[in-house]
Amino acid sequence: MTPEDSLRSLSLDYLNLLINGQAFSDVTFSVEGRLVHAHRCILAARSLFFRKFFCGPDSQAGLDPIRMGPGSGSPRGPSAQVIPVNSVGYEVFLLMLQFLYSGQVSIVPQKHEPRPNCGERGCWHTHCTSAVDLALETLAAARSFGVEQLALLTQKQLAIMVEKASIEDVMKVLIASRKQEMHQLWTTCSHLVANSGLPPEILAKHLSVDVVAKIEELRLKSSLARRSLMPHHHPHHHDLSGAAADLEDQKIRRMRRALDSSDVELVKLMVMGEGLNLDEALALHYAVENCSREVVKALLELGAADVNYPAGPAGKTPLHVAAEMVSPDMVAVLLDHHADPNVRTVDGITPLDVLRTLTSDFLFKGAVPGLAHIEPNKLRLCLELVQSAAMVISREEGNANAPHSSVTTSIYPPMGDEHASSASSGGAANMSVSGSGLNLDSRMVYLNLGAQNGCRKIE
């Protein structure tokens, strides 16, 4: 047994003691009307707060955040009464105890579990409002009880969440990061808010005046930095170029706000009336990364965006982005609108190369860089869709060169909205591989992924 295995076994043993060790517990907490049995020696060893609480005088009854009821006396002794906890909820308190006992905990809620503040059916709770709220509550509890390691872990999780969270949730994290003096998280959130394009009057409804002022200061610095990179052969020409750049930035911010609110008609009006170039504004890339499948589909149906437009220095297309996200819904809708699975980035990487690399990392390294967790079914379905598309296109090109070719094969297996929806929630597990025309190596990859279905979660 390796040292890592020994530590993992020890962690599980202590966690099992918390879950099933009522007979050995010597302290009981009451949280939201539910009893939690624990062990003073473990809590005191792992938390300075609990050490002072259990070893201090009887006056500790008034210590925040745990408040003992009237006449409860000292928590010490075999006849100690139940200690009420009023400052945190049951779920957060249990998460904190799990970390104290085992040294590890998953702050992300269980997938597909009905949660408050999340009405989306089948949500994975990776960056929704419910997931952000739970992380913020866990962070506050970790700071209150002095569990700094848990606070750092939660801060890292929030930094991942805000990259795809709604701007309202980003502002909540921004406020918390300032209150908790978490400078790195504050910097991340403040730049996200500054780039959101929300006007100051809207920001003022959620943020304090001084925070709004700092956001506007960031926007000004960003605007000046962009202007300094532009050629300025003549002062008057420089002013005109700067004004034109600001106007384009305003259009892009308005376009993104419209996509965030699923208002594709407004985007259409901007294209027709204001001459907005969807490709230069990277509208399709933004929609794939931040919006729903329906928004991406409606944007493609406008016919004003190139589905294979390369973005940035790397030259990634929207299909590259969808592959990196491991999103079968996005991959399917892009392929349905003639996305090219063989297009290459500047470095010569195709969307199929992206998915093969992710599969290799998942199977052989046990982790995928940049993804907090990954679902085997989604990865398998994305790989099948893109590989099938590439193979069919290759066959069609070969048949086109042959005389009297009459082959009419769809780009990828039929997949309606209902099927795509079920795939995103794990329905891909029932999808047949044997009839997809895939080679033996690919089938072995799918079998390996299927064997790990739902059993591996990468933190």
Q: Is pLDDT at 439 greater than 50 in this prediction?
A: no
The per-residue pLDDT for 402 is 58
Residue 438: pLDDT over 50? no
CA distance 386 to 378: 12
Q: What is the pTM of this model?
A: 0.49
Residue 153: what pLDDT? Answer: 92
Could you read off the pLDDT of 49-87 as tens digits, one per residue?
Answer: 999 888 865 434 444 454 444 334 444 444 457 899 988
- Per-residue confidence (pLDDT) for residue 7, from 0 to 100: 84
pLDDT of 39 > 90? The answer is yes
318-377 per-position pLDDT tens digit: 999 998 888 888 999 999 998 999 899 888 889 988 888 888 776 765 554 445 456 778
CATH for 1-105 is 3.30.710.10
Report the pLDDT averaged over residues 118-125. 75
**Do β-strands 83-85 and 27-31 pair in parallel, antiparallel, or remain unpaired?**
parallel
- What pLDDT score does 373 carry? 56
Single-letter amino acid code for the residue at 180: Q
Provide the pLDDT for residue 80.
53
- The stretch 5-17 carries a mean pLDDT of 84
Rounded to a whole number of angstroms, the distance between the first and last alpha carbons of the chain is 23
Q: Would you kindly state where each structural domain of the chain is located, as residue ranges? A: 1-105, 239-306
19 in helix, strand or coil?
Answer: helix
Percent of the chain with pLDDT over 70: 72
**pLDDT > 90: percent of the chain:** 26
Nearest to 431 by CA among 332, 357, 360, 353: 332
Q: What pLDDT, on the 0 to 100 scale, is given for residue 453?
A: 41
Q: Is the pLDDT of residue 145 over 80?
A: yes
Banded pLDDT at 433 (limits 50, 70, 90):
very low
